[in-house]
């Protein structure tokens, strides 16, 4: 069950073993054509029984239905108390779109290529990431009121700073998971974010990849997860605990009104500064 260690996690390919299974981890940069090309070539050459991708069902459907959030009924979202999930997705989607424009590449292209190439060779596609709603929900439940407001404002401010990204910054982005880089940066002042967004998911990914069907497995994950997956490779993980939402903190009722208000302000801001087209988008 020992990992066949590569000395450096900068190497995108890592061979691990678990029982009679051989697993090839591919650490990718979510904004790199080179990563997407590498994924295609490795899957075609290795011909695995299963291709694992760092996606949950919600994100998988988002890839399949690119305009899903644009078709969202805002009133229904507010009534179902999913305003935070919508707002988070809007902010992260906006971040991805800005980065994509800077780098002239589709974010997450390596996951799309992994799925398409895996299906083409007849491999099973295995989604190994924790549901994003659980991840965001766990973040939300453990944070206090002002921490939540601070987090959202930091995310919004980060969007404005993208226009100041240098060529050197762009090259660094090609070597890491961009969204996780953003969240990790924000998380420097909030350590609990790193624990839930990165560390917990490293444990979750390691468990799910080990549990995937087949003797030969290729797993495509963000480069930032490689070190953690290898660290937790032989660790028994209580998956149910990682999929459980902690109890709500005080101030939760107040937030029911804050986020619908923020969504409304974002829409008004879009119409006012960008015209009808921007507001609708």
Domain locations in the chain as residue ranges: 13-280
- Determine the 3-state secondary structure of 73 from DSSP: coil
First to last CA, the chain: 49
The pLDDT of residue 126 is 98
Helix runs in the chain, H state only: 33-46, 57-64, 74-79, 83-103, 109-120, 132-142, 145-161, 167-173, 178-186, 191-194, 200-210, 226-231, 239-242, 252-280
Residue 25's H or E segment, with its range, is: strand 21-28
The pLDDT of residue 142 is 83
The pLDDT of residue 228 is 94
- Determine the 3-state secondary structure of 179 from DSSP: helix
The pLDDT of residue 73 is 47
Q: Give the model confidence (pLDDT) of 152-211 as tens digits.
A: 776 666 666 656 666 566 556 555 555 566 556 656 667 777 888 889 999 999 999 999
For the chain, residues with pLDDT lower than 50 are 1-4, 7-9, 72-80, 268-281
| CA distance linking residue 25 with residue 93, whole number of Å | 26
């Amino acid at each position: 069950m020992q990992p066949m260690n590569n000395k450096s996690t900068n190497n995108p390919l890592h061979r691990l073993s678990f029982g009679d299974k051989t697993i090839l981890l591919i650490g990718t940069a979510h904004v790199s054509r080179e990563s997407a090309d590498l994924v295609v070539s490795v899957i075609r050459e290795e011909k695995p029984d299963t291709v694992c991708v760092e996606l949950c069902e919600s994100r998988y459907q988002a890839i399949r239905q690119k305009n899903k959030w644009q078709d969202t009924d805002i009133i229904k979202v507010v009534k179902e108390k999913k305003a935070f999930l919508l707002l988070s997705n809007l902010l992260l989607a906006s971040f991805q779109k800005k980065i994509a424009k800077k780098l002239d590449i589709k974010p997450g292209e390596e996951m799309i290529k992994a799925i398409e190439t895996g299906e083409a060779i007849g491999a099973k596609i295995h989604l190994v990431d924790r549901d994003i709603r659980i991840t965001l929900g766990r973040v939300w439940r453990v944070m206090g009121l002002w921490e939540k407001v601070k987090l959202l404002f930091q995310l919004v401010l980060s969007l404005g700073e993208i226009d100041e990204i240098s060529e050197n910054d762009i090259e660094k982005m090609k070597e890491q998971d961009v969204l996780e880089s953003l969240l990790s940066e924000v998380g420097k002042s909030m350590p609990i974010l790193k624990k839930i967004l990165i560390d917990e998911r490293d444990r979750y990914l390691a468990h799910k990849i080990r549990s995937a069907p087949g003797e030969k497995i290729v797993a495509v994950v963000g480069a930032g997860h490689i070190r953690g997956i290898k660290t937790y490779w032989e660790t028994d993980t209580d998956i149910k605990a990682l999929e459980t939402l902690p109890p709500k903190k005080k101030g939760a009722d107040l937030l029911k009104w804050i986020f619908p208000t923020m969504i409304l302000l974002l829409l008004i801001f879009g119409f006012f500064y960008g015209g009808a087209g921007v507001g609708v988008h």
